[in-house]
């Protein structure tokens, strides 16, 4: 599945992922998501209060600032290496149980694509669902 990110930030993808999994007819199983990029990641996070996403983004930006003098890899701009570091600190894959043909997420949990670059990007997320 391809998602277009408009800029840096957390973008919830629970709906399309859940719809895709439900369409496969698997009653009980395990869904694996894998993002095919090194400057974006996947996270499960609270989806009820948008302040959580804003706070996570602000914290990551403070922890890993763009344009740090330490970085040697700057070929694609000041956000390039910072995006790779953020990707290394988070996750490239997630595994989510499936029961009763639905994703087993907690009440406030959602699946997010975490874009670490500042410009719009198409991001590919591979999905594999196994079960019966």
- How crowded is residue 90: how many other Cβ atoms within 10 Å of its Cβ? 17
Rounded distance between C-alpha atoms, residue 125 and residue 19, angstroms: 14
- Sketch the domain layout of the chain as residue ranges: 2-131
Domain 2-131, classified CATH 3.30.360.10, yes or no? no
Question: What is the Cα–Cα distance from 117 to 39, expressed in whole angstroms?
Answer: 7
> pTM for this one?
0.96
Report the pLDDT value the prediction gives residue 12, as an integer from 0 to 100.
98
Q: 51: which residues sit within 8 A by CB, 6+ positions away?
A: none
Identify the residue whose tokens are 């019966």.
132
The predicted structure's pLDDT at residue 38:
97
| Residues in CB range of 112: below 8 A, 6 or more apart | 10, 11, 12, 13, 42, 43, 44, 45, 47, 53
For 23-81, the pLDDT digits (tens) are 999 999 999 999 999 999 999 999 999 999 999 999 999 999 999 999 999 999 999 99
Annotate 19-33 with b (16+ C-beta within 10 A) or e (fewer).
eebeeeebeebebeb
DSSP code, position 80: H
pLDDT band at 86 (very low <50, low <70, confident <90, very high): very high
Confidence (pLDDT) at 98? 98
């Amino acid at each position: 599945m391809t998602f277009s990110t408009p800029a840096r930030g957390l973008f919830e993808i629970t709906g399309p992922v859940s719809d895709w999994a439900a369409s496969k007819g698997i009653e009980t199983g395990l869904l694996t998501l894998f993002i095919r990029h090194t400057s974006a990641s996947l996270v499960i996070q609270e989806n009820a209060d948008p302040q959580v996403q804003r706070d996570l983004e602000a914290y990551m930006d403070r922890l890993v600032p763009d344009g740090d003098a330490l970085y040697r890899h700057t070929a694609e701009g000041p956000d390039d290496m910072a995006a790779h570091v953020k990707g290394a600190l988070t996750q490239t894959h997630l595994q989510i149980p499936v029961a009763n043909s639905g994703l087993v997420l907690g009440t406030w949990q959602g699946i997010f694509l975490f874009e670490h670059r500042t410009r719009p990007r198409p991001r590919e997320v591979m999905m594999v669902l196994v079960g019966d």
